[in-house]
Amino acid sequence: MTEGQFAEFFLRQGQKVIETKACFWYSHRPLLYMSLPYYRAVSPSASELARVLLGGPAAALRFPTNLDTGNRKVGIFLCSDRNYGFSSLQQRMRNYTRRGLENCTVETVEFGYLAQHGHQLNLESFERQARDAATMTESQWHRYCEAAAATPGFEAWGAWVRGHLAAFVVAALVEDCCYMHHQSAATEHLPLFPNHALNFSVTRLVLARPEVNSVCYGADSLLTPGIDTYKSRMGFERLLFGERIALNPLLQPMLSLGGRRIIRWATRTYPESQMWQRASSFLTRNAI
C-alpha cells in the first residue's frame, strides 16, 4: 500500500489525519500526533509543524528525524536480512523458537475472526504490560479489524495451540516495508512460546517476498523496555534516529509557569497513570 492508503486506515477508525509536504500525520493519542509511517525519518518545515499543531489541534507532535536535529536518540527495530533464520537469533531465542514451533501452528487468520476472538488476548497483553485496559476498547478493536480488512496491504497471522489462538500479529506492507503493527498473546499459552514461533515464521516468510525489503518491529518502548530486548534477540537491528517532539507554542507559557512541576507531581501521585508517565518521560527524555 502507499503512504496515503496507510493514512486511510487510520481515517477509517475515526482518527484525524493531516497531510503536509513531508508526510502524513495521525492522532495517535488525544492531542498527540505522529508522523506516518513512523519508521521513516522526516524533516518537516516550521510552517508544516504549525499547521498540524494549530489545525489538529495538537499539544505535541512526535516524529523521527536526523540524529543531529532530534531532541533525543530513538531506536527503530528493522530486519532486512534475506537469509533470516535460526542463525539470526540469540542462542536462547533459538531454543525458545524451536520449542514454540514444536508447540504451535502458525497460519494466516481472517480479520473477522480476530474481531471476535482477538480482544481477549489484547486485554491479557495490556495487563501483563501494566497498560490501561482502555488503551483499546472492544468497539475500537472491532473498528480496527474492519479498517484493516478494508485496507490493501494488511494481513494477520496467528499461532495456534491445540486449536486455540495463542498469539496473533497484524502486519501492514507500506511500500517496501512490512510493519508489525499490532501483536497480542494469551497469558495461558506463553510458556509454549507462541510469540517466538509467530515472529520468527512471519519475519522469514515476509522477507522471502521480492517486493519486501525490510520488516519493522516498531520503535523503542518508553514503558516496556523488556520488549525491546526481545526484538533485538529475535534478530532485529536497532537503528538510531533523532526523535523530535514539537510542542504547541500555546503550551510554552503554561510549562514556564509551573506546568512541568504539575506534570512531575501528577506522575508521583498517580504512578499507575500511563498518561502522566508518558508526559513526564517526554519532558525528561526530550528536554522539553
Task: Note whether 255 and 222 are same-domain residues.
Answer: no
Whether residue 95 is predicted with pLDDT greater than 90 in this model: the reply is yes
Residue with cell 486449536: 163
- Burial-class residue 122 by CB neighbours within 10 Å (0-12, 13-18, 19+): buried
Residue with cell 532486512: 80
Question: Which tens digit of pLDDT belongs to each residue from 12-52?
Answer: 999 999 999 999 999 988 888 999 998 889 999 999 999 99
Task: Note whether 106 and 203 are same-domain residues.
Answer: yes
Alpha carbons within 13 angstroms on the beta-carbon side of residue 182 total 18
- H/E stretch holding 12: helix 3-12
Angle made by CA atoms 86, 89, 91, in degrees to the nearest 5: 95
Whole-prediction pTM? 0.85
Task: Note whether 127 and 139 are same-domain residues.
Answer: yes
Burial 8-26 (b: 16+ CB within 10 A, else e): bbbebeebebbebebbbbb
Task: Note whether 65 and 88 are same-domain residues.
Answer: no
Distant-in-sequence, close-in-space partners of 91: CB < 8 Å, separation ≥ 6: none
The answer to whether the bond into 253 is cis (omega within 30° of 0) is no
Task: Note whether 101 and 231 are same-domain residues.
Answer: yes
Question: In this structure, are residues 62 and 34 in contact, taking their beta carbons and an 8 Å threshold?
Answer: yes
In this structure, how many other beta carbons lie within 10 angstroms of the beta carbon of residue 33?
A: 27
Task: Note whether 222 and 262 are same-domain residues.
Answer: no
Whether residue 197 is predicted with pLDDT greater than 90 in this model: the reply is yes
Question: In this structure, are residues 21 and 47 in contact, taking their beta carbons and an 8 Å threshold?
Answer: no
Task: Note whether 216 and 276 are same-domain residues.
Answer: no
Whether residue 178 is predicted with pLDDT greater than 80 in this model: the reply is yes
Question: Which tens digit of pLDDT belongs to each residue from 211-245?
Answer: 999 999 998 876 667 889 999 999 999 999 988 88
Q: Which of the listed residues 206, 221, 238 is the one where a domain comes to its end?
A: 238
Task: Note whether 50 and 160 are same-domain residues.
Answer: no
Instruction: Count the domains in the chain.
Output: 2
Angle made by CA atoms 35, 39, 41, in degrees to the nearest 5: 70
Look at residue 249 in the predicted model and tell me its pLDDT. 78
Look at residue 102 in the predicted model and tell me its pLDDT. 97
Look at residue 223 in the predicted model and tell me its pLDDT. 64
* Short-list 20, 197, 15, 164, CA closest to 93: 197
DSSP bridge pairs for 62: 34, 245
- H/E stretch holding 204: helix 194-207
Task: Note whether 98 and 182 are same-domain residues.
Answer: yes
Question: In this structure, are residues 243 and 70 in contact, taking their beta carbons and an 8 Å threshold?
Answer: yes
Task: Note whether 69 and 96 are same-domain residues.
Answer: no
Q: How far is CA 85 from CA 46, 88, 94, 125, 204, in A?
A: 44, 5, 9, 27, 7
Distant-in-sequence, close-in-space partners of 66: CB < 8 Å, separation ≥ 6: 41, 43, 241, 242
- Burial-class residue 49 by CB neighbours within 10 Å (0-12, 13-18, 19+): buried
Structural domain of 87: 77-238
